[in-house]
Structures are given as C-alpha cells and as structure tokens.
Amino acid sequence: MSAADGHTPGWETPRLKDLTTWDADWAGLRVVVAGIGASGFSAADTLIELGAVVVVVDAGATAENEAKADTLRIVGARDVLLGAEHAATLPRVDGEMPDLVVTSPGWRPTQPLLAEAAGAGVPIWGDVELAWRVRVREGRPTAEWLTITGTNGKTTTVGLTESMLLAGGKRAVAAGNVGTPILDVIRDPQGYDFLAVELSSFQLHWSHSLSPLASVCLNVAEDHVDWHGSYEAYLAAKASVYERTRVACIYNVEQRETEAMVEEADVIEGCRAVGFTTGMPSISMMGVVEDLLVDRAFIEQRKDSAAELAAISELGEVVPRHLVANALAAAALVRAAGLPTAAVRDGIRAFQPGDHRIQVVANEDGVLWINDSKATNPHAASASLASFQSVVWIAGGLSKGVSYDALVRDHAQRLRAVVLLGADPTPLQGALARHAPDVPVSLHPSTQTGHGHDGGSPDPATGEALMQWAVTEAARLARDGDTVLMAPAAASMDQFSSYAHRGTAFMAAVGARGGQGTIAKES
C-alpha cells in the first residue's frame, strides 16, 4: 500500500477546494441536484440550509415528486424541474453555469445532464461526498467513518458493525446505501461517535475525498456492468473504498481481488492491511478456530495466539459460510476502531438479521423452508446454495444479462429439483439443461405458453399467485431432509415490485400451507 499524496484531483475547482466543513463559505454556491429521491432530496435540503443556490432536476413528474418539489421550494430551492425534458440538459442556475452538480447514485455517468456537466468541466459529487465535506461542524462531535462495500453482504455487515459499536457503548448508526440517508445522519443535532457506512459502487464512483478510519470490500463478482460500462470499471469503483484509509484496510483472504485492491490503494501512512477468512487465520487476520471467531490482528501476542470473539452458533439458527465472513469483517472494522472483544460478542448476540436474507420461514415434516430473496445475482445465490446439502431451488427472475453456467455447474449435485420463476426463464433454464440435465425443472404454465410479463409494472396479485404456485410445486417435490430455498439469483422487477415483495409473497405462501412446523413472521 502506498501513502496518499494529497494531490488535488480535477473534480475539485478553486471554489470548492476550501469547502471541507459545514462552517465553510457555501453561501451563493450554484448547485444542480440531479434526482429528487431520498438521497437527492436530502442533498438539496442540506445545500439550501448551507446557503447554496439550488436547482433540482428529476425526469419523473409523479405526484410524489411534485410533493417533494413543493417542500423544497418552500425551504428555498431556486427551482425544481420535473420531467424527462429537463433531465436531458444541464440547467443554468440564475442564468449561470453551475459551480457543482450533486447527483443521486443511480444516475449513470453517461446520462445526458451528467455527461454535459463533465464535458463542461463542472465537478460532479455524490451525496456521500457532500456528507464527507460537511461532517465537521462546530459544536458537534465529528463521527469516524467505517466504510463497507462489496457485491454481496454489505447490508448484513453494516448491521453487524452498527450492533457491535452500540454494544461497545458508542453512539453509532448505519447509513449510506441502507436506512437513513447519510446527510440526514450528518445533520443529527447530537452527532455520532461512529458511522457504519454502506457504499454501493455507484456511490463510490461519485465520491472523491473520503478518508475513513477503516474500510472493507467484502467480495466482488460481475454486477452492474451496464451502469459502469465494464467489469474493470466496476472493480475500480469498488477498490476506491480503500483510498485514503487511515487505520486498517480489511480484505477477504479467500478472494485475491480484494487483497490486490489493498495493495494498490493510496492510503494514509501507517495504515494496516488486515485479512478475514472463514478458515484458520494467519498473523494479522481474523478467522475461525474450531467453532469460534478469533482475532489474530488486533492483539499484542498475535504472533503465537488469538483472542476469542464469539461462537459461530451465536450468529443464528442457520449460519452459512458467508455470514461468518461478514461477521469477521465487521469485527475487524470495530477492532480497528479500538473496541474490545466483548463488544464483538455482545453485538453478534444482539444483532437481528434483516428479512429476506437466508431467513428461516418454516420447518415442516422434515423440510426446511428458507427465504433468501435478497440473493439477486449468481454470486449471492451461490453462497446460499452452498449452505445446504439437498435443495429444492426456487429461482429465476430478471437476469440482467448475467451467465448462470458456473452457478449451476458448481451446485448441480445439491439440486433435488428446480422451480423456475421469471417472465423469461430461458437463461437459467438453458444453464440447467447444460449442467444439470437430470434435475427435474418445473415451469409455470404462463411461461410454458409464452404468456409472461408484458414489460409493464408488475401486478402484485399476479406475483403472489405465481409464488403460491411455486411453493405448492416445491412442496410436491421436496423430501424429508430437503431444504426449499428461494434464492432467485436474479432481480425481481419482472414479476414483483421488489425483492422484499417477492420474499414476503414467499413467506405468505409458505405460511398459508399451515402444518405443525414453526412459521417465521416478517420483522
């Protein structure tokens, strides 16, 4: 790892260079905010409070957006422009070129407004970059940031990190790509000791000057290539989580790509590289010894001993390998922040996993029913499948152009049967035919006859009826000792409104079957 050199990159003009605290001179700064969703609204509201001159743009002229626009006009926005025609060009602010564009993370760099801004030399920040700039405020504590990214496992790791910090007596909160918008957290009157910040690749792309206390990239797999333009660009965005880290860069020992990211990172002098592994840890690593999570990184005697953190069984009823990895990554972050081992143990005990993440729904007649609707890509589904021996797999959905060959090939021996969802099941169906030709596959009659989703907004009632069919079919196929695993390896929007809607429909369909088993309720 090399030391950060403190250079001033091209995204920072002289006008912006000194805007590094809340109390800096933001007055009169001309800003276009792209997007009026949760992060865009929060960014606009913050900038107005700071005294900037703000114009907000969003392509969607919905009733919800109109209500938000009215609120922003009341608090002092110069203008709010709704409609696709406004998002096609960079608006002027009081007749002048803006000094800055603050974009919502979902807007692609190739979006016409952003492309025009970049071509004109107008700096573009995300809401996370703005939050970093205004985090220091006179009269309030300045929180340390622990930053977390990865293709999968971010939300669980952020939640575990938050739970450990709270168990250690710190005022802390999860923010960023999960829960409360980060600028709303920054403006909390009491302030925080620590922020556990979940960062998507989109947010990292638009962040330029973050310097966290500790950082981690949990894993990487092909995803969001359509947004970034290439897998290499996606990897570069993920790798930027390590830039300017001050105390510890945490990497996944079992994925060489993350270690290479740390080796190439431009960090603050003295920053350490700390690995985590679900196997036996070497020196300066977190890992597993027998059934215990242990620390060989943040103890003085790390050359020949390890500190016990927690028992694996304390993570829950079903503990897949990737959950162990997430817990170790979270432990490394908080240990880098100086928390004791007891905070790790107590945080794990207090942690409540989110719904739709390898969630036990029922255990009936020897069949375990698991909801992992959050497994929206092959990498996440692979981790889920690896947790069980004999599986009736409910899978499929909006594939986003990914390949399923490696996923099916690696787990064919686990599959009792497959029940396919998705308006177009052919990508997964093809992989099953090539790599698991003897595994029974069930298709819904609507997809067999070609009457799938027509491309409009999914009908909730149709999605729920589809899931009832899938659960009934899975129950018919399952045998004593099997797991019925709903881990779709695909997005949900072709037949459901969200992964949460899909997961809730699965839980309701399982619950409607009755039986003597234990049925989980959504928290």
**Are 175 and 197 contacting, i.e. CB atoms less than 8 angstroms apart?**
yes
Domain boundary residue, one of 312, 331, 350: 350
Domain boundary residue, one of 306, 333, 350: 350
pLDDT higher than 80, residue 393: yes
pLDDT, one tens digit per residue, over 339-387 is 999 999 999 999 987 677 788 899 988 999 999 998 988 988 998 998 8
Q: Are residues 225 and 319 in the same domain?
A: yes
Report the alpha-carbon distance of residue 376 to residue 490 in Å, rounded.
4
Q: Are residues 83 and 149 in the same domain?
A: no
Is 16 part of a structural domain of the chain? no
* pLDDT computed for residue 98 by the predictor: 97
Q: Are residues 481 and 394 in the same domain?
A: yes
Is 378 part of a structural domain of the chain? yes
Is 127 part of a structural domain of the chain? no
| Positions of E strands within 206-268 | 214-217, 248-252, 266-267
What is the average per-residue pLDDT within 190-196? 96
Is 7 part of a structural domain of the chain? no
The total number of structural domains in the chain stands at 3
Q: Are residues 117 and 156 in the same domain?
A: no
Is 20 part of a structural domain of the chain? no
- How many residues in the chain? 523
Report the alpha-carbon distance of residue 200 to residue 18 in Å, rounded.
27
Q: Which domain holds residue 46?
A: 26-122
Q: Are residues 268 and 371 in the same domain?
A: no
CATH number at residue 84: 3.40.50.720
pLDDT band of residue 236 (cuts 50, 70, 90) is very high
What's the whole-number average pLDDT of the chain? 90
Strand partners, 395: 420
Token pair belonging to 50? 């700071």
Report the alpha-carbon distance of residue 243 to residue 514 in Å, rounded.
52
CA end-to-end distance (rounded Å), the chain = 42
Q: Are residues 388 and 454 in the same domain?
A: yes
Q: Are residues 68 and 151 in the same domain?
A: no
**Are 399 and 384 contacting, i.e. CB atoms less than 8 angstroms apart?**
no
pLDDT, one tens digit per residue, over 277-313 is 999 999 999 999 999 999 999 999 888 889 999 999 9
Which of 198, 200, 283, 289 lies closest to 237, judged by CA? 200
What is the average per-residue pLDDT within 325-336? 98
**Are 148 and 161 contacting, i.e. CB atoms less than 8 angstroms apart?**
yes
pLDDT band of residue 166 (cuts 50, 70, 90) is very high
Q: Are residues 382 and 447 in the same domain?
A: yes
Token pair belonging to 522? 């959504």
CATH number at residue 275: 3.40.1190.10
pLDDT band of residue 514 (cuts 50, 70, 90) is low
| CA distances in angstroms from 340 to 42, 68, 246, 335, 437, listed in the order given | 35, 44, 20, 7, 52
Is 14 part of a structural domain of the chain? no
The pairing of beta strand 144-149 with beta strand 194-198 = parallel
Q: Are residues 286 and 427 in the same domain?
A: no
Q: Are residues 260 and 175 in the same domain?
A: yes
Q: Are residues 195 and 266 in the same domain?
A: yes
The secondary structure of 344-413 as a DSSP string is HHHHHHH--PPTTSSEEEEEETTEEEEE-TT--SHHHHHHHHTT-SSEEEEE-SB-TT---HHHHHHHGG
Report the alpha-carbon distance of residue 25 to residue 23 in Å, rounded.
7
Is 18 part of a structural domain of the chain? no
